[in-house]
Amino acid sequence: MESYKLSSDQINLLKGYNMLLYFAGSMLMSEPTEECVIDFWASGTLRKLPVSSSNPRFIRAAAILRESCVDKETCRVTLADDFFRLFAISGLPLAPPRASVYKTSKNNSINTTKEIGEFYNSYGWHLKPRGESPDDHLGIELLFLTKMIDKYLHLDDDPCCREMKQEIIRFIDLHLLSWVPRWNEDIQEYAHTFCYKGIGTLIHAAVEDLYGIFKSGSRTRYQF
């Protein structure tokens, strides 16, 4: 019978992806601050990502992020400008990070926000950020994915691990890969900063990689 016990390398790999999702999601949720620029760019954090992947999209994202935010003095201002152009709630955002924008059919018969909310509710997920942003916001979806992965990492029962693994695959398939690629296309077309171009590509790549990992067809250094 297949064992779901993880090695230290596998645990560190998933924790590394969670770190990337936390970073990327935070950049979609609110206007970037000076502290954000210092923490992620000025400190050199994005020059050495916590994950090594052979996914060409991931490699491209890492390269873009390493070369982004060159001028730290103006970086925060340009990031903020891009944030409001791309994601602002008011006005006409160019790449709104909401599943309903990309998944809703022409006759609006699919209530994407309700659907994703029901997925959260099935896990009893009622964290503070919910309510501050719509349930179908990409930042919220990425945060929920990290919570699922955290839960998976703390399970020690094979049947529960097997079920959780399938639920993670189902969530990524239904609620991320179904629209994130098209959202990222808009990011690449409309973002002015390499920072957000890199973040869009990083999210797309990380979601692909995690799907592959949990399907046991990983493009990353480790497989399970």
Maximum average pLDDT range among 57-71, 109-123, 205-219: 57-71
Find residue 220's DSSP bridge partners: 53
Alpha-carbon span 169 to 211, nearest angstrom: 6
Least confident of 103-117, 155-169, 188-202: 103-117
Q: How far apart are CA 62 and CA 40, in angstroms?
A: 13
pLDDT tens digits for range 158-197: 899 899 999 999 999 999 999 999 999 999 999 999 999 9
Domain ranges of the chain: 8-214
Please give the class, per CATH, of domain 8-214. Answer: mainly alpha
Mark 130-150 as b/e (b = at least 16 C-beta within 10 Å).
Answer: beebbbbbbbbbbbbbbebbe
Q: What is the mean pLDDT of residues 110-128?
A: 80
Q: What is the mean pLDDT of residues 96-122?
A: 78
Residue 8 has pLDDT above 90, yes or no: no
- Does the structure show a pLDDT above 70 at 109? no
DSSP secondary structure of 6-61: PPHHHHHHHHHHHHHHHHHHHHHHS---HHHHIIIIITSGGGS-S--B--HHHHHH
Asked whether 100 and 113 are in contact (CB, 8 A), the reply is: yes
Taking only the tens place, the pLDDT of each residue in 12-65 is: 999 999 999 999 999 999 888 888 887 788 777 787 888 989 999 999 999 999
The whole-number pLDDT of residue 110 equals 53
pLDDT for the residue 201 = 98
The more confident residue out of 207 and 218 is 207
pLDDT at residue 108, rounded to an integer: 46
The predicted structure's pLDDT at residue 213: 93
pLDDT 10s digits, 59-96: 999 999 988 888 877 888 999 999 999 998 777 899 99
Q: Tokens for 106?
A: 């022409």
CA distance 116 to 152: 20
145 — pLDDT class (breaks 50, 70, 90): very high
* Closest to 53 in 3D by CA, of 43, 44, 45, 63: 63
Nearest to 103 by CA among 174, 179, 176: 179
**DSSP character string of 183-218:** HHHHHHHH--SHHHHHHHHHHHHHHHHHHHHHTT--
pLDDT for residue 126 is more than 80: no
Pairwise CA distance, residues 31 & 128, whole Å:
18
What's residue 220's pLDDT? 45
In angstroms, the CA 12 to CA 2 distance is 21
